[in-house]
């Protein structure tokens, strides 16, 4: 049995067409079913639904043989022990620095001010500001990052931006892009040896599906 870990929402929705192109149908809809283990039309492949941030953990410890997760989550997790054979080019977005419209970020950086930055992406933010030589106090949040500059909790946030609508709705502006994000296939290294044939087939199925639809996001 091969177990694929997915998270509900955008990753699940954008993975379905790739699975379909690889001849795999998930037999239940996570939006209507409360089940966490979903069968597929392949007797030896099942999907498990986990929180996005837990996908690397499931794959690292063998709770799943492979998983699909954003580059952001992988970097924060550290990616230890995970084989990362494919960028699936789905769930594309970026991680950016954003501030209130009336905050002069460029001049704060120029003057060497110490910035308070709220984020869920502490490792990515730490690395980015260290490379820039900007001193920051990082405040770890788990969601609603946009609120931090509006309430005076922070000067800036580091967060995912996709359409930019959430920033706009909260009167924030994007001042720097840190990196582009897309979802990656990750594989448990031990499983790759123990279940080599079945996993290779699944990985090759994803690779072929990607080749069939190289520009579906553009
Ligand atoms: C992400 C991110 C922003 C929003 C950006 O949140 O944290 O809030 O999407 O998207 P936009 O640029 O298209 O408006 P998500 O919905 O993934 O939930 P989260 O706050 O739980 O991370």
| For ligand 1, atom 18: residue with the closest CA | 143
pLDDT at 217: 47
Q: For a substitution probing ligand 1, which of 98, 119, 150, 162 has the most ligand atoms within 8 Å of its CB? A: 162
The pLDDT tens digits for 141-156 are 999 999 999 999 999 9
Taking the whole predicted model, whether its pTM rises above 0.85 is answered as yes
d(C-alpha 130, C-alpha 146), whole Å: 22
The pLDDT tens digits for 122-143 are 999 999 999 999 999 999 999 9
Q: Which residues surround ligand 1 with Cβ inside 6 Å?
A: 143, 145, 159-166
**What's the rounded mean pLDDT across residues 155-165?**
98
pLDDT at 212: 86
Distance 160 CA to ligand 1 centre (A): 6
Give ranges for CATH 3.40.190.10 in the chain.
2-91+182-212, 93-181
CATH number for the 2-91+182-212 domain, one of 3.30.70.1020, 3.40.190.10, 3.40.50.10490, 3.40.50.300?
3.40.190.10
What residues does 183 pair with on adjacent strands? Answer: 70
> From residue 131, how far is each of 53, 111, 125, 134 by CA, in Å?
25, 16, 10, 8
Tokens representing residue 156 in the block:
């800036």
Q: What is the dihedral of CA 182, 99, 117, 53, to 10 degrees?
A: -30
Distance 29 CA to ligand 1 centre (A): 23
The pLDDT tens digits for 58-102 are 999 999 999 999 999 999 999 888 999 999 999 999 999 999 999
pLDDT band at residue 214, thresholds of 50, 70 and 90?
A: low
């Amino acid at each position: 049995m091969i177990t694929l870990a997915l998270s509900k929402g955008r990753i699940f929705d954008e993975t379905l067409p790739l699975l379909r192109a690889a001849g795999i149908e998930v037999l239940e809809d996570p939006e209507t079913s409360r089940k966490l283990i979903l069968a597929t039309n392949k007797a030896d492949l099942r999907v498990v639904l986990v929180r996005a941030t837990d996908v690397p953990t499931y794959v690292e410890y063998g709770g799943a043989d492979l998983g699909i997760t954003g580059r952001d989550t992988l970097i924060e997790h550290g990616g230890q022990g995970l084989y990362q054979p494919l960028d699936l080019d789905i769930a594309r977005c970026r991680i950016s620095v954003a501030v209130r419209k009336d905050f002069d970020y460029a001049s704060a950086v120029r003057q060497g001010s110490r910035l308070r930055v709220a984020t869920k992406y502490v490792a990515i933010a730490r690395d980015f500001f260290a490379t820039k030589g900007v001193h920051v106090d990082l405040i770890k949040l788990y969601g609603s990052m946009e609120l931090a500059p509006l309430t005076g909790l922070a000067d800036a946030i580091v967060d995912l931006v996709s359409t930019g609508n959430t920033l706009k709705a909260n009167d924030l502006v994007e001042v720097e892009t840190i990196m582009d994000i897309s979802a990656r296939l990750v594989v448990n290294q031990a499983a790759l040896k123990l279940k080599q044939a079945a996993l290779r087939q699944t990985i090759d199925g994803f690779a072929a599906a990607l080749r069939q639809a190289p520009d579906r996001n553009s």
